[in-house]
Amino acid sequence: MTAAHRRLWGPTGMKRMPGWEPPAFYGAANWMTVIIDPITSSKARNRPRGWTLLLGAATALVATAPASAETLMDAVASAYATNPTLTEQRYRQKSVNETYVQTRSQYGPTLSVNATAQYRYTKERISPTRVIENNDRTGDATLNLRQQVYSGGRVRGALEEARANVHASEEQLRRVEGEVIQNVIAAYAAVLRDQRRLIVTRENVAVLREQLDERRTRRKVRDVTITDVAQADARLASGEVQIANAQAQLAVSRGDYLRIVGHEPGELQPLPELPGLPETIDEAFTVADAENASLQAARHSEVASRANIAEQRGAQRPSVTISAQAGKSGDLRDPSFRDYNTDVTAQVTLTQPLWQGGAIRSRIRQAQDQNNAAQAVVDSERRQALQDVVLAWNQLASARVGLVSGTRQVEATQIAFAGMQREESYGLRSPTEVLNAEQELASAQLNLLSSRYTEYVARSALLLAMGRLDARTVNSAIPAKDPEAEFKKVRWRGLFPTDPAMMLLDHVGSAPIVGKRKPDLRRADQPKPTGSPAMPATPDKRFTSAPLVPIKESPLREAGKLPPSLQYYETAPGDEKAPQKAPQ
């Protein structure tokens, strides 16, 4: 095709009638082309016509059938209900609840019964002619009652430790839930990204194939060299490799979605806004210090270690126990039980440790060292929480700048590609320059899709670092599974009427549970990270979710009709408005 033909007909490739557009179906449309030879007889033409109508009707039904639409809220609801990692952590948290019940049961009485039955056969030879045989069948039953009246504060400390561990497990569950929700968001966004990247790579190959065909046609009339044809073919081969890589990455992302959400993705809807993002990084620091799940879990674990100190100190104090036994024993051959022996015993036991070889003091020092270690863990988790905020904040700020700049890059490369195509038709540009412009446009679109993914996932990472990412952040309609409510269901199970009185009595003279943290580890004046940039404003949908213009439909812009981000092209340096950036 000569340059004159191209000016008249445009680039080679499949065309459609002017003013005609294919019907916009909700799902994927299936098209069928039927070619009828006018030379054949009417009988031969009418024979396939019925099948053509049937196939066309079936195609229309398939094309118009709505595909299953799925939103991020649906994906979060599915993962919240079925994700195995989250389910596992819920059951682990429930198991920790039972440790509180088991510890509290030490305040109540224990009642048990022991019963034994014994058969004894003896044969004693007194003389060669006399043998005495005995068959004894005896049994006894004993009822045992034991009630701890005072433990010196040991049970009180153990109970406070168990309660603090329950709080820590609830925060660990909240952390796991936040991580699972972030994984759902990342998997959902990755599938959307890879679907669109596959579309871009296919468009790239379609354009490269057209350019190769055009150069082969021009080669026949010696309008281009064999080098130009080889360059186009090399770019096409590289594009075909990109399609294979994009297909493989999409399959991987779909598999990851299935692993996290529990089913394969359907037709995914655009990503919604995530609420709760902070205005400043100092606000993010404040929220993270108060709500970060890992930090809160460490604080509860530190409280548990302090309660353990009180528990070990209680071993130095006396303990009081009441016990009673009642039993009967006798010959099992007596059905009336009248000749059975009866034994009833009741006693009060006071125990005061006097000398344990230093074991009690050693356990107290050990508990104090464990508490010091727990306080250090709190400070470590606090620093880690602040660093997580810094990391997520800067990733989000960088991604937002990349979104705006990437959008401007795509608009600029589209204008350059369309202009070079026109200029190449007039001999003002070489074929290599057109290939380079097309490659730059495809790369810019792929990079913009990656920036959109990074920006959205960085939002969820910042919310997670602050401690404000959970299922209800994305889908407020999800019925919350409150771990504290699960604890209250089992907290008083098995409670005996005397338990509250024993709990109050155990407070007498016992060691205090909560003490002050050491100031050298508390570090209330610990400095916060500085140097992070201000967060650009949330980009609008033009930057985050606007459809990309297909490569082959890149518009040829005239003067005065440039996009807003490129209007400064028309002004001299120093007079133009700065390129549009993310608003501060």
Mean pLDDT throughout 389-401?
Answer: 95
- What is the pLDDT confidence band of residue 532, given thresholds at 50, 70 and 90? confident
Q: Which residues pair with 133 in a beta bridge?
A: 123
C-alpha–C-alpha distance, residues 471 and 243, integer Å = 35
**Confidence grade of residue 560 (pLDDT, cut at 50, 70, 90):** low
More reliable by pLDDT, 235 or 554 = 235
Structure tokens at 78: 């599915």
Q: What is the pLDDT of residue 424?
A: 83
The predicted pLDDT at position 374 comes to: 94
Is pLDDT larger for residue 20 or for residue 225? 225
Q: Which amino acid is at 405?
A: S
- The mean pLDDT of 209-238, rounded to a whole number, is 89
* Phi, psi of 344, deg, nearest 5: -125, 130
Q: CA-CA distance, 323 to 304, in Å (whole number)?
A: 31
Q: Which of 16-20, 184-188, 377-381 has the lowest mean pLDDT?
A: 16-20
* Percent of the chain clearing pLDDT 70 (strictly above): 82
pTM score, whole prediction: 0.80
- Does 467 have pLDDT greater than 60? yes
Which pLDDT does position 512 carry in this prediction?
Answer: 74
Query: What average pLDDT score do residues 225-231 get?
Result: 89
The answer to whether residue 258 scores a pLDDT higher than 90 is yes
Neighbours of 14 (CB within 10 A): 6
- Give the DSSP per-residue string, 395-417: HHHHHHHHHHHHHHHHHHHHHHH
Mean pLDDT of the region 425-450: 90
The answer to whether residue 492 scores a pLDDT higher than 70 is: yes
Residue 430's SS3 state is coil
Q: Give the tokens for residue 286.
A: 């404040």
pLDDT for res 47: 44
Higher pLDDT, 9 or 315: 315
Confidence of residue 45 (pLDDT cuts 50, 70, 90): very low
Max avg pLDDT among 34-43, 111-120, 389-398, 554-563:
389-398
Number of Cβ within 10 Å of residue 55's Cβ equals 14
Q: What is the DSSP string of 445-498?
A: HHHHHHHHHHHHHHHHHHHHHHT--SHHHH-TTSPP--HHHHHHHHTTTT--TT
Contact 516, 524 (CB under 8 A): no
CATH of domain 72-107+151-261+271-317+352-475+483-570: 1.20.1600.10
- Give the ranges where 65-149 is alpha helix by DSSP (H): 72-82, 84-104
pLDDT single digits (tens) 81-109: 999 999 999 999 999 999 999 999 999 99
Task: Say which range, 168-177, 462-471, 497-506, has the weakest mean pLDDT.
Answer: 497-506
DSSP class per residue in 136-192: EEEEEEEEEEEEEEE-TTHHHHHHHHHHHHHHHHHHHHHHHHHHHHHHHHHHHHHHH
- Annotate 231-269 with DSSP letters as a single string: HHHHHHHHHHHHHHHHHHHHHHHHHHHHHHHSS---EEP
Least confident stretch, 4-8, 207-211, 451-455, 555-559: 4-8
Provide the pLDDT for residue 118: 87
Predicted pLDDT at 24: 38
Specify the pLDDT at position 531: 77
Q: What is the DSSP letter of 367?
A: H
pLDDT of residue 46: 43
CA distances from 370 to 100, 103, 163, 379 (A): 21, 21, 18, 15
When mean pLDDT is compared across 44-58, 119-133, 289-303, the lowest value belongs to: 44-58
Task: Please answer whether residues 429 and 467 qualify as being in contact, where contact means their C-beta atoms are separated by less than 8 angstroms.
Answer: no
Q: Buried b / exposed e across 317-338, counting CB within 10 Å, b at 16+?
A: bebbeebbeebbebeeeeeeee
Q: Where are the domains of the chain?
A: 30-63, 72-107+151-261+271-317+352-475+483-570
Averaged pLDDT of the chain = 83
Question: Tell me, what's the pLDDT at 221?
Answer: 85
Query: Is the pLDDT at 62 greater than 70, yes or no?
Result: no
Instruction: Reduce the DSSP state of residue 345 to 3 states and report it.
Output: strand
What's residue 333's pLDDT?
77
Percent of the chain at pLDDT exceeding 90: 58
What pLDDT is recorded for position 523? Answer: 54
